[in-house]
Structure formats: C-alpha cells, structure tokens
Amino acid sequence: MFFLIYNLISIVIFSPVVAYHLYRSVSRGRPPALAERFGFIPEAELSKIRSRPVIWLHAVSVGESIAARPLLKALRIRYPDHAILVSNTTETGRGTASAFPEKDLCIYFPFDFQPAVRRVLDSVQPELVIIMETEIWPNFTREAFSRNIPVILANGRISDHSYAGYLRFSWFFRHALRLFSRLCMQTETDCDRIIAIGAPAGRTLQTGNLKYDIPFRLMSQDEKQLLKESYSIPDGLLVLMAGSTHAGEEQLVIDAYRKLLPHLDGLFLILVPRHPERSAEVAALLQRSGLSFKRRTSAPYPDEFKKGEVLLVDTIGEMMSLYAISDVAIVGGSLVPTGGHNLLEPASLGVPSVFGPHMSNFREIAELVLHYGAGVQVDSPEGLTESCRALITSAELRQVLGQNGLKLIRDNGGATERYLKIIGEYL
C-alpha cells in the first residue's frame, strides 16, 4: 500500500520536480541531462560496461564522491574484471567523479519515478549497488530488491540537524530502509539513529568513516614550489585558503584578510566558493573590497601574483591541489549555518585548518580535529581573524597542527578494508 501511494504522489509531483530541475540547471548554466535522469543512457556509453558484471556506486555530490574514492580504488584492485559505474545527482558531483580513473562509466542517478528506475536497471543490470551516505529512494530500493540486486548503504550518517526530521517521517523511510541488504554507518550514534527511524537492527552495523582512508602525506618544499608555480603564485608568499565557502562566508574571509594584510608581509588569499556558479557574486564582493584578483579560468596569467592579491577559483576538481599549496586553510560551510565541510582534506596534507561553529554534518570529524589539535574552531569574525593571524605568524604552530592532522588520518583509517569484507559477501 505504501508504494502504491508513493507512486501516485510521484505522478502528481512529476511536473513540478522536472520544472524545478530545469530551472536549477539553466540558472546555473549547466545542461539538465533529463534523458539520463529518466533512465535513457546512450548505447555508446553502455558499451563501456557491457559483457562484465557491474558494481554501481552512487555518490550524490562532490563530498560523497571524494569520500568514495578510497573504496573505488580498492574495488578496482580487488575486482579487476568488474565494470565500475558511478552515478551522481548534482552537476558538480558528476564533474568530480568523471575525473576518477577507477570508474568505467559515469551517469546521473535517475529520478525516483518507477519507469525511470526500471529503465536504468534494465540497461545497467548491476550485480551490486552501493549508495554513499544517507540516500533513501523507495522506488529504487524496491525495484533492486525485486530483482535480487543487493543494495548497501555505505558511510551512512544522520546529522543532528536532520535526525528530528527523519524521525518525524519514519513512517515513510522505514519501508525503504527494510529493503537494504546492509546499512553501514559511520558511528554508533548513527547506527542508533537509523534503527530508530526504521532500519533493521540485524542488518545495521558500524563500519567507520571512509573519509579517513584518503591518502595522506606532507608535500616536500620542492613539490610545493612547483605546484605554486603552476598557479603563478611565487614561492615566497604565505597562502591563506578559504575552501568550499558559501554565501555570507566570503565577506567574512575578505574582511579578515584585509585586517591581516597591513600587519603580515607576503600574505596571499585563495578563495574557492563551494558552487562555481557563484563566482560572479564573489567577484563583485572582491571588487567592492578593493582587492586585486584574478579568476582561475583566466589562466594563464601574464604576470605572477603579488602579495595582497586574490585567486578566485571558479573551477571544480582542484581542491586538493589548492590545499596542498596552502599554509592555513579556512574550511567553509562552517562560518554560516550550512553544516560544515570535510576538515580531513587539509589535514591529510599536513595543513592546519580554521573552521566555524556550524559543523553538524561533520560533528565526529570536527571533534577529532580538536581532540588531535589539528585545527582551530572559532565562533566570531574576530576569532577568525586572530586565529589566522596566530597560525600565519608562527611556522612552528603550523607545523605542530599539520603533523597532528597527519596523525589523525593515520590513526583512524581502515574503513575500506571493512567494506571490502562486507562487499565480498555479495560478489
């Protein structure tokens, strides 16, 4: 009865969903790819996975794609004769995943309309589906279940902010949760929460966080210098980077940067909005501030950057390279109530991080970063300025926090091997 009602509602909201998707894509200057989202995949693309058993991994956006990377690498090694398909929901996620050499095919995840789901499963015929984090789509899980295709929820988490909402609609989610073969959650708290929402306790287990399995190492000065040169940044400049920023955060970073400039010689800012389509908005903020800046898409530049200037990154897929050349990293999504972003990315490169109070989506990671002393949490614009000043003026402090970050990654890895053991039960 639930699925009948769900599909009747799906028919009613079909047009608004498509209209919203079209508006979102066009407003961001991106192709809507409606055919793929309705399950129509060109035969030329499907030929890349034909005649091989298929492992399908779904990662909604950029963060989930990056988190899945260690597992994708391990799957490629463990199952060389399988085809690996990666799907995404967002355009930025698709752009990130498309660059992964481990995958054979990258597609958009279908709308959760029954005909679209059936069409794509008929075309792909996966042997196993792995869904990153907490994506619950009733039609997709039900259709896979009816075809005896195991579906594993991987790296699952229920944030503080979303838990109450999930509980309120547990009558909706429990029908789909019961169809997962395994629900692999990051922490014991996440396990308790998803069981309370309706997941079967016997199929729910704590497996840790795949994000801790990212490669980690401190770059040599020679490597860092060469990478800086590729961005036209002189080696002598100290780089402050603000990564994955959201509306309201860029102004806070710009204000802090302007306050620091008169007192700190050789300071340079890299500003990376989470959504590149906001780059025009951020460029306007920089113009009003009087700061000299260049867009990443304007490269190559006629001259090297100078102290006090700004690199505005309006591209995707360069985050780790940019963290690698940074001396201090401000991690966005945390200075405004967005939920934060992944502090492990700078930590894995030995770069100290500064982040705000809004880390509900990364509560465990934020706690570990503070426990290990790999970053600094601030709760005000003044705190942001002063924490950046303390780190920029002390190479010794940066080194200590950077080494602590590397130790954090080293001590907390191992989730990938646990996943391979579970996946091996189904392949």
Positions marked catalytic: 64
Q: What is the mean pLDDT of the chain?
A: 92
What's the pLDDT at 117?
A: 95
d(CA 241, CA 364): 23
Domains annotated on the chain, with CATH: 29-214+413-424 (3.40.50.11720), 221-412 (3.40.50.2000)
d(CA 52, CA 104): 11
pLDDT in tens, 119-173: 999 999 999 999 998 888 999 999 999 999 999 999 999 988 889 888 988 888 8
Residues in the chain: 427
Report DSSP letters for 371-400, one per residue: HHT-EEE--SHHHHHHHHHHHHT-HHHHHH
pLDDT in tens, 325-359: 999 999 999 999 999 999 999 999 999 999 999 99
Helices (H), 337-380: 344-347, 363-372
Closest Cα to residue 64, out of 166, 157, 168?
Answer: 157
Q: Is the pLDDT of residue 46 over 80?
A: yes
Q: Is the alpha carbon torsion for 37, 40, 43, 46 positive or negative?
A: positive
What's the pLDDT at 364?
A: 86
pLDDT in tens, 94-107: 888 898 999 999 99
Q: Please tell me which residue, 218 or 333, carries the higher pLDDT value.
A: 333
What's the pLDDT at 29?
A: 67
CA trace torsion 198, 1, 56, 67 (10° rounding) = -30
Burial of 46 (0-12, 13-18, 19+ CB in 10 A): middle
Mean pLDDT of 304-308: 94
Burial of 53 (0-12, 13-18, 19+ CB in 10 A): middle
What's the pLDDT at 28?
A: 67
| DSSP 3-state of 155 | strand
Reported confidence tier of residue 37, pLDDT bands at 50, 70, 90: confident
The whole-model pTM stands at 0.72
